[in-house]
Amino acid sequence: MNLYPMLFESRLVEKMWGGRELSRIANKTLPPEKRIGESWEIFDFPPGSVGADARLATDDPAGWTSVRISNGSLAGMTLHQVMLENPEVLLGRSKTIPTPHGPQFPLLIKFLDARQDLSVQVHPPTRYASNHSNAFVKNECWFVMDHSPDARILIGATPGTTREVFAESIAAGTCEKHLNAVKVKKGETFYLPSGTVHALGAGIVAAEVQTPSDTTYRVFDFNRIEPATGKPRTLHVEPALDCIDFNNDWQSGYAEQSQHDATIVRAPQFTLHRRVKPANATTDLRSGPMRVLIFVEGTGVVTGAGMAVAFTQGTTVLLPSSVASVVSSEEQTVWLEAIAV
């Protein structure tokens, strides 16, 4: 099986907090009158590990929820199928994640459109996940692609906040005052290791790179009612309190906007680089590491192994380990380059 730069069928997920900005910011074709909160770009989940709102009948034949390739000779196959048949050629030195159902692709890539605030939530750290079979570590980061003038995120507990104080504020509906409210700017990156309490704020469109887990514990949802049920969404206060790192230093995972190449996130499971190139530039990407390129600005073409892939803002391309590629930018181009450890 010959591999090449791969494109995928995005999976659009309706969310009560979603909007319509992924059409403008990420060039997605949205279904009419739907609040689309997430566009899943690259994903690979074992059977039964992802919520029903993100499943489709066309999942992997083995029951995995895995993204389908949309270009070239492998079009129609899932990423999971290709990974099983060509693990070393695809992944190189990147490691899969072991599950009871077999190996899992090590990255999850999304675009998010928060028309409303997302819930205040946390993902389980290793100390919790190792003692709870249904909890999985989820380190993630946000790259801000666009935002409304006063948009902010909530990230980490404020200094001096204890579990007891935070638990009381959840019950009183005032937990937001114990969270750091940080105004955002286009091009900034925020790293949120597991255990970081957080909420993406209204008016933000972000690219999200993370370890592939769907384990989320909500502690507060701004008293909203789920339209489908007429009831508040389920909260998970006790496990969330067990998971939150009340000494988290969110600033250690912050990278400001810049017009220079940089490594912006170093997580245990992946590294994220920002690449900034002028118009009419060519960038050689040698074979070796498997790369996922997430284009957040610009237009151009990625070529490799006899395949040419045109990109615009919002295109995600997977470069297999075995494939040497060239990125040719037609205008100033910025992309995020995720490499699994």
Structure tokens at 155: 């990230």
- Topology match between the domains 11-255 and 262-340: yes
pLDDT for position 226: 84
Structure tokens at 264: 């912006």
Structure tokens at 142: 């946000």
Catalytic one among 93, 218, 274, 286? Answer: 218
Give the architecture-level CATH label for domain 11-255. Answer: Sandwich (2.60)
Q: Which residue has the tokens 């009871």?
A: 100
Residue 291 annotated in active site: no
CA-based nearest residue to 80, from 302, 209, 99, 215: 99
Q: Which residue has the tokens 């993406």?
A: 200
Q: Are 217 and 198 in contact (CB under 8 A)?
A: no
pLDDT for position 57: 45
pLDDT for position 54: 55
pTM across the whole model: 0.95
Q: Is 251 helix (H, G, I), strand (E, B) or coil?
A: helix
Question: What's domain 262-340's superfamily in CATH?
Answer: Jelly Rolls (2.60.120.10)
Domain boundaries, the chain: 11-255, 262-340
pLDDT for position 159: 96
Q: How many CB atoms lie within 10 A of CB 52?
A: 5
Structure tokens at 283: 């960038």
Neighbour-count burial for 83-118, b at 16+ CB within 10 Å, e otherwise: bbebeebbbbebebbeeeeebbbbbbbbbbbbbbbb
Helix (H) or strand (E) holding 310: strand 307-311
Q: What are phi and psi of 98, to 5 degrees?
A: -70, 135
pLDDT one digit per residue (tens) for the chain, 341 residues: 899 999 999 999 999 999 999 999 999 999 999 999 999 999 999 987 776 555 554 567 788 999 999 999 999 999 999 999 999 999 999 999 999 999 999 999 999 999 999 999 999 999 999 999 889 999 999 999 999 999 999 999 999 999 999 999 999 999 999 999 999 999 999 999 999 999 999 999 999 999 998 899 999 999 888 888 899 889 999 999 999 999 999 999 999 999 999 999 999 999 999 999 999 999 999 999 999 999 999 999 999 999 999 999 999 999 999 999 999 999 999 999 999 99
Q: How far does the chain reach from its first CA to its final CA, in angstroms?
A: 24
Q: Report which residue type is found at 177.
A: K
Q: Are 25 and 57 in contact (CB under 8 A)?
A: no
In the chain, what's the furthest Cα-to-Cα distance? 60
Q: Is 62 helix (H, G, I), strand (E, B) or coil?
A: coil
Q: Which residues pair with 310 in a beta bridge?
A: 301
**What residue spans of the chain are helical by DSSP H?**
21-25, 79-85, 87-91, 126-129, 163-172, 237-243
Q: How many CB atoms lie within 10 A of CB 258?
A: 14
